[in-house]
């Protein structure tokens, strides 16, 4: 085998759940082929891979992660779930949702510091049914690895001794429904917010700030590039002073719909804009079947009537046109819905998938994630957060029979 050692890889897994396709990508910098745990056949392929090339391999369920075992589904006494948080709050338990194993450490003879997720399948008065299997244990996966020319930034991030674990064991799979289980996302207090006053008061002051670091901003724009074609009419839902649409694609007619007129006036990509508070009325003041694409960037977490909004977006889209929702891990705390803060980031993709499902207006659902890129060296948060803000995306296509 070649003596090639330190390389930069983008890894990806591609898999399908019952009603959606999924891609989860992970950047692995300074990856040492000779001192990292990966499947031997993958190591051999990577050792001969030229820069810029991609290798793809197929894996059966249980090959990349622990195989599904029926004895990992079991009943425990409800009293053994430690639902009290350090701040004194008591967790509400919901079927289909994920929780850290440390909350049931006594029941499974586990560690009180184990943050690996388990799924709560059923909640009864005196017992709980839990699933300790890996969230990806049931799925066949296509693994891709692309050899990159150089790091995205001029400083290094931590190396991993097992990059398959780094790729698969920190969230992927949690966005999918459990077979035969309805996930309880929409509860009585799901859309409660710390600041319940009218949003027009909160957003009347322009906020000309980027919610993401420069690397992440570039990745969001690159992601949208897949959906954008010259001449398109695009709806930028919950718009601000940036639309994140690639600026080198010409002849676009972008309509911004947002809360603050001054912010949208500074957005040079918008051909027109509409001031609209979707939390006051989900009715979009837009023509029917008029848009080729709709996007919503780092804002879906503020909607208190999301299913109605998704239905209205579908109404404004041409049949077969995509609606792409992207988000990361930063938000305005006073205005984010309570449910959002209670979910793992990959569960949030599951929540947005549920919005698409419940709207009954979209098909061909999909999700994608990208994590692990190094944060720019000059970013003010680099000392605290060495990794760039992750990208999470969920999308679907407007149904013909809406």
Q: Where are the domains of the chain?
A: 6-62+137-160, 70-131, 199-398
> Greater confidence, 159 or 251?
251
Give the Å distances, CA to CA, from 237 to 68, 104, 156, 353.
Answer: 40, 41, 36, 17
Residue 159: the pLDDT is 57
Residue 2: the pLDDT is 45
Of the chain, the end-to-end C-alpha distance in Å amounts to: 56
CB 103 within 8 A of CB 82: yes
The CA distance from 241 to 222, in Å, is 18
Among 129-143, 207-221, 278-292, 333-347, name the one with the lowest average pLDDT: 207-221
Q: Alpha helix (H) ranges present in 15-113?
A: 40-47, 105-108
Residue 160: the pLDDT is 63
**Strands annotated E in 85-242:** 98-100, 117-123, 127-131, 141-148, 233-239
The CA distance from 250 to 257, in Å, is 21
The CA distance from 329 to 167, in Å, is 18
Phi, psi of 255 (to 5 degrees): -105, 125
The count of C-alpha atoms lying within 13 angstroms of the C-alpha of 218, restricted to the half-sphere facing its C-beta, is 9
User: What one-character DSSP code corresponds to residue 84?
Assistant: B
3-state secondary structure of 101: helix
Nearest to 233 by CA among 262, 270, 276, 268: 270
Report if pTM > 0.85.
yes
User: What one-character DSSP code corresponds to residue 298?
Assistant: S
**Which two three-digit tokens encode residue 238?**
């919950």
Phi, psi of 131 (to 5 degrees): -125, 115
Residue 87: the pLDDT is 75
3-state helix, strand, coil in the chain (%, to 5): 20, 30, 50
Q: Do domains 6-62+137-160 and 199-398 have the same CATH topology?
A: no
Residue 15: the pLDDT is 98
The CA distance from 196 to 174, in Å, is 30
CB 220 within 8 A of CB 296: no
What is the per-residue pLDDT across 253-266, written as a single tens digit (0 to 9) for each? 999 999 999 999 99
Counting Cβ atoms within 10 Å, is residue 271 exposed (0-12), middle (13-18) or buried (19+)? exposed
Residue 175: pLDDT band with limits 50, 70, 90: very high
Residue 16: the pLDDT is 98
CATH architecture type of domain 199-398:
3-Layer(aba) Sandwich (3.40)
**Which two three-digit tokens encode residue 122?**
């059923």
User: What one-character DSSP code corresponds to residue 67?
Assistant: P
HEC string of 189-208?
CCCCCCCCCCHHHHCCCCCC
CB 294 within 8 A of CB 321: yes
Residue 382: pLDDT band with limits 50, 70, 90: confident
Given a cut of 90, whether residue 269 has pLDDT beyond it is yes
What does the mean pLDDT of the chain come to?
91
CB 319 within 8 A of CB 290: no
The CA distance from 104 to 130, in Å, is 10
What is the per-residue pLDDT across 128-165, written as a single tens digit (0 to 9) for each? 999 999 999 999 999 999 988 754 444 455 556 688 88
CB 96 within 8 A of CB 177: yes
Residue 153: the pLDDT is 46
Reported CATH class of domain 6-62+137-160: alpha beta
Residue 1: the pLDDT is 39
The count of C-alpha atoms lying within 13 angstroms of the C-alpha of 385, restricted to the half-sphere facing its C-beta, is 16
3-state secondary structure of 244: coil
The CA distance from 266 to 273, in Å, is 11
What is the per-residue pLDDT across 305-354, written as a single tens digit (0 to 9) for each? 999 999 999 999 999 999 999 999 999 999 999 999 999 999 999 999 99
Beta strands 253-258; 6-16: pairing state: unpaired
Residue 321: the pLDDT is 98
The residue-averaged pLDDT of 103-129 equals 95
The CA distance from 288 to 162, in Å, is 50
What is the per-residue pLDDT across 24-66, written as a single tens digit (0 to 9) for each? 999 987 777 776 778 888 888 888 888 889 999 999 999 999 9
The residue-averaged pLDDT of 211-220 equals 93
Residue 265: the pLDDT is 96
**Which two three-digit tokens encode residue 357?**
């499902």
Residue 150: the pLDDT is 59
Residue 208: the pLDDT is 66
């Amino acid at each position: 085998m070649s003596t090639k050692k330190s390389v930069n890889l983008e890894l990806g897994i591609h898999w399908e759940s019952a009603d959606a396709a999924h891609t989860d990508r992970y950047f692995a910098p300074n990856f040492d082929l000779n001192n990292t745990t990966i499947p031997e056949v993958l190591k051999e392929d990577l050792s001969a891979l030229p820069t810029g090339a991609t290798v793809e391999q197929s894996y059966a369920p249980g090959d990349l992660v622990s195989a599904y075992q029926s004895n990992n589904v079991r009943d425990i006494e409800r009293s053994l779930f430690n639902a009290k948080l350090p701040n004194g709050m008591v967790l509400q338990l919901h079927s289909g949702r994920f929780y850290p194993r440390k909350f049931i450490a006594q029941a499974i003879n586990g560690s009180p510091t184990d943050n690996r997720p388990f799924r709560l399948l059923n909640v009864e008065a005196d017992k709980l049914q839990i699933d300790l299997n890996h969230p990806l244990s049931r799925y066949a996966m296509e693994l891709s690895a692309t050899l990159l020319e150089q790091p995205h930034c001029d400083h290094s991030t931590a190396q991993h001794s097992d990059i398959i674990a780094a790729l698969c064991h920190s969230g992927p799979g949690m966005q999918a429904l459990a077979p035969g289980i309805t996930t309880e996302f929409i509860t009585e207090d799901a859309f409660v917010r710390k600041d319940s006053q009218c949003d027009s008061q909160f957003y009347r002051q322009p906020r000309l700030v980027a919610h993401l670091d420069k690397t992440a901003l570039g990745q969001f724009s690159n992601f949208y590039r897949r959906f954008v074609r010259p001449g398109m009419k695009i709806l930028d839902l919950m718009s601000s002073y940036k639309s994140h649409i690639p600026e080198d694609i010409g002849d676009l007619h972008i309509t911004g719909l947002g809360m603050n007129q001054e912010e949208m006036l500074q957005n040079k990509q918008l051909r027109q804009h509409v001031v609209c508070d979707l939390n006051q009325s989900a009715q979009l003041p837009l023509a029917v079947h008029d848009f080729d694409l709709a996007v919503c960037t780092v804002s879906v977490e503020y909607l208190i009537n999301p299913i109605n909004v998704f239905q209205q977006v579908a109404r404004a889209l041409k049949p077969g046109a995509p609606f792409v929702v992207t988000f990361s891990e930063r938000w305005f705390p006073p205005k984010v819905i309570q449910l959002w803060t209670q979910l793992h980031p990959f569960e949030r993709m599951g929540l947005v998938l549920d919005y698409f499902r419940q709207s009954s207006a979209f098909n061909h659902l999909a999700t994608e994630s990208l994590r692990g890129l190094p944060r720019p060296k000059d970013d003010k948060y680099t000392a605290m957060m060495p990794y760039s803000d992750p990208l999470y995306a969920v999308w679907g296509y407007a149904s013909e029979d809406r």
